[in-house]
Amino acid sequence: MGKYFGTDGFRGEANKVLTFEHAIQIGRFLGWYYGARVGKKAKVVIGKDTRRSSYMFEYALCTGLMASGADAYIMHVTTTPSVAYITRVDDFDCGIMISASHNPYYDNGIKLLNTNGEKMDEETILQVEDYIDGKIEIPVASGHDIGRTVDYVAGRNRYIGYLISMSKFSFKNKRVGLDVANGAAWSIAKGVFDALGAKTYVMNAEPDGYNINTDCGSTHIEHLQKFVVDNGLDVGFAYDGDADRCLCVDEKGNVVTGDHILYIYGLYMKERDKLINNTVVTTVMSNFGLYKALDKVGIDYEKTKVGDKYVYENMVQNGHRIGGEQSGHIIFTKYATTGDGILTSLKMMEVMLAKDKPLSELAAPVVFYPQVLKNVRVKSKPDAQNDPDVQAQVQKVAEDLGDDGRILVRESGTEPVIRVMVEAGSDDTCEKLVDSVIDVIKDKGHLV
């Protein structure tokens, strides 16, 4: 991670951490880097979510791009995966999404995508940061070289058509609930499900610039749980602010997480001989219950660091077809280069219809283990993590758990915090074993 950009873009409170000046600078650099630097006029596509500040950042980015001679194609309010898709299929030099994902409205973010619709490489990100810090000088365009903006709502419509084409089944007679989080899926999801024949019930679809993710969407799925039960729906899907993640609710009102989705669709692929390498990619935060369920059906798995960026890198390097996070970032590399919440919900509908089973039955084999996670503020994350006595206690816990649980100790990527997590057969066991590690960290003087 760089000085400004983390694993999911440059994110922070609008005009306090991430400012409009930053947006202009990012536009200036990208317009030059993909354009004048290589002797051409760059084409960059931009999307945004429904935050009030997204409009400010959209115009600031366009200003910077045009000042460097690039043409900025504006998709308006749309999802992160739609920008990734259009960047790739319409041959843009790069794509930009303005969103802070599941964060509250007062935060915002700028996510950069390469010409293949993938997250921007670290080398280019570091050059963007150098320009922000005044370490690089770039020329200003003039005369006929100055760029322009192009209304590109057609790109969003093309993406909607692509999603509709993904379904192998009609959704006729299926009652589907959608919580679009007053966010980017607001203008897309219902139209897709309606076009496929579903009886669609939508909630939190009145964005006002301030209510994105507020007590709604995938971070507050309890409202969709009640909505599904109260309305007798077959299934419900909840998205986050930029719709790159999806959580589900079965017909009984139970939450179906990203781990469940990985199992359900991974098994569906295996049964049709489509699970290349017989492998599902997870992060280290997936529940132990997922691995137990995958073991029972003979599916292998790999674990990456937390972040869909690392999941995607592993999938590309090894040729795997499905991976994701418990939070609902699910990547299907045959169809997308990033997590896509609406695509994920369509894939869950596909399995339900193909097997003629309710979602509750499909998810039942994944039985979550109790989990306790505690965060400990420390003076030095590496010193605490690598302390021989701490490592010895972690090893002892792992041996005590054997095949009946697991322990994970990792550093936070953004705070001076060590996270200690145990999954085991009971909450009491988890609590006891987590505290045994924290006690050693404390006794060795690592706490702040």
Burial class (CB in 10 A: 0-12, 13-18, 19+), 423: buried
38 vs 27: CA distance, rounded Å = 16
138 phi and psi angles, rounded to 5 deg: -135, 150
What 3-state DSSP class applies to 94? strand
CA angle 97, 101, 107 (to 5 degrees): 95
- Catalytic residue annotation: 101
Residue 324 belongs to what H/E stretch? strand 322-324
Residues near 41 by beta carbon (within 8 Å), at least 6 away in sequence:
35, 69, 70, 71, 145, 147
Q: Look up residue 396 and give its two tokens.
A: 């002892």
Q: What is the DSSP string of 133-166?
A: TT----PPP-GGG---EEE-HHHHHHHHHHHHHH
Contact by Cβ (8 Å): 238, 224: yes
435 vs 421: CA distance, rounded Å = 10
Residues near 439 by beta carbon (within 8 Å), at least 6 away in sequence:
none
Strand bridging mode 43-48 / 9-13:
unpaired
Residue identified by tokens 């570091």 is: 126
1 vs 97: CA distance, rounded Å = 18
Q: Look up residue 387 and give its two tokens.
A: 């302390």
**Nearest in space to 436 (alpha carbons), one of 403, 395, 404, 380:** 395
388 vs 394: CA distance, rounded Å = 10
Contact by Cβ (8 Å): 31, 67: yes
247 vs 331: CA distance, rounded Å = 13
Helices 52-67 + 20-33 axis angle, to 10: 40
Q: How far apart are the first and last CA of the chain?
A: 24
Please give the order of strands across the beta sheet that includes 322-324.
300-304, 279-283, 322-324, 330-332
Count the residues in the chain: 448
